[in-house]
Structure formats: structure tokens, C-alpha cells
Structure 1
Amino acid sequence: MVTVEEIEHVSKLMKIDVDDHSEYLEKVQTMISYFDILDSAGVESEEISMPEIPIEQLRNDEYIPFDEKLIEKMNHYKGTYVRAPKM
């Protein structure tokens, strides 16, 4: 299963400050156990049917010019960067 060291390693890769890595150990193991349940569902024999659509029925791509500067329409931007909410 997942170890505290692996959670610490992933948090460093994602540049996320986590104070107590062991707090997330049970949560990650629970998520992985859900994936194990999904993997064992045995849906390999199920066939997904999708209607075939000829290429002629798809819409044509069109270029629509946009004369305004999109960055100026943003509410939260600084220079050329858009500020996202803190998580």
C-alpha cells in the first residue's frame, strides 16, 4: 500500500506544504481501495454502443476574430498573469 514517505515525496513534487503526512495516509489508502473495487467490477464484457456520425455531419471550424485584449477582461490579473484563488 501507500507509505508516509510516498505521500511526502508526492507532496514535494507537487510543491504542497503538508504538516502531517500521516494524516493523508488513510485517505489515500481509502481512495486506492475504491479503485480496487472498480477494477474488480468485471465490466470487460460490457459493450459501449456509440452512434457513428459521418464526418460530413460535423460542424466546420470557423475563425472568429476577437479584437479586444482578453487579459483586460479578467477580474483578477497582475501584469500578464491571472490570479487564481488560494487553495
Structure 2
Amino acid sequence: MVTEEEIEHVSKLMRIEIDDHEEYVEKVHNMINYFDILDSAGVESEEISMPEISISQLREDEYIPFDDKLIEKLNHYKGTYVRAPKMSS
């Protein structure tokens, strides 16, 4: 069971301001319930078959020089920082 105090603690660790911690308690419970459903699906014994690919079929790594400064090509670049978009709740 997740508590409001745990949500508040995690939000402080992540440096995210949350006004209503109770709202996130319900969201976390819904996620945990969904993972419980996935865990009960019983797919532990299922084998995932992947076709074998020989090394000769893989592409060659190739160095392609890039003369421009990549960070200057980014949107929202300011000085030595890149500004990320705000996270929505």
C-alpha cells in the first residue's frame, strides 16, 4: 500500500512539486494493480524464439564526421544548458 507520505518523499527526491499527493496515491495503486494482472498472466514458461542472425549479416559500423557543434543545433539551447519542456501531470 502506497501512502501520501511516500508519494511526497519520492516527489521531493525527484524535485517535483506536487500539490495533491492523494491524487497520485490512486494513480500508483492503479499501476500496481495493473502489474499484478500482468504478473498473474502466467507467461514464465513461455519461450521467446528469436531467429539467429550471423555477424556477417549485420551492418558495418561507420564513422561519419559531424563538423558542427551538435548542442548548438538543439532547440531551447541557452549557454551551456538545454531547457527541457515542462512535465504535465
Shorter-chain TM-score above 0.5: yes
Q: Which runs of 5+ in 2 are unaligned?
A: none
| Larger CA deviation: 18-27 vs 29-38 | 18-27
Structure 2 partner of 1:85: 85
C-alpha displacement at 1:74, in angstroms? 2.1
Structure 2 counterpart of 1:24: 24
Deviations 1:14-68 (A, max 9, x none): 1000112112111110110000000010011211110000112111111110011
- Structure 1: gaps spanning 5 or more residues: none
Once the two structures are TM-superposed, the CA of residue 75 in structure 1 deviates from its matched residue by 2.8
Cα distance in 2 for partners of 1:72, 1:20 equals 38
Q: What SS class does the counterpart of residue 75 from structure 2 fall into?
A: coil
The ranges of structure 1 where at least 4 consecutive aligned residues each deviate by more than 3 angstroms after the TM superposition are none
How many Å separate the matches in 2 of 1:24 and 1:47?
A: 36
1:64 lines up with 2:64 in the alignment = yes
Q: TM-score, structure 2 length as denominator?
A: 0.89
In the TM superposition, 1:34-53 aligns within 5 A as 34-53=34-53
Share of identical aligned residues, percent? 84
Give the length in aligned residue pairs. 87
The two structures have a TM-score, normalised by structure 1, of: 0.91
Work out the CA distance in 2 between the residues paired with 1:20 and 1:75.
32
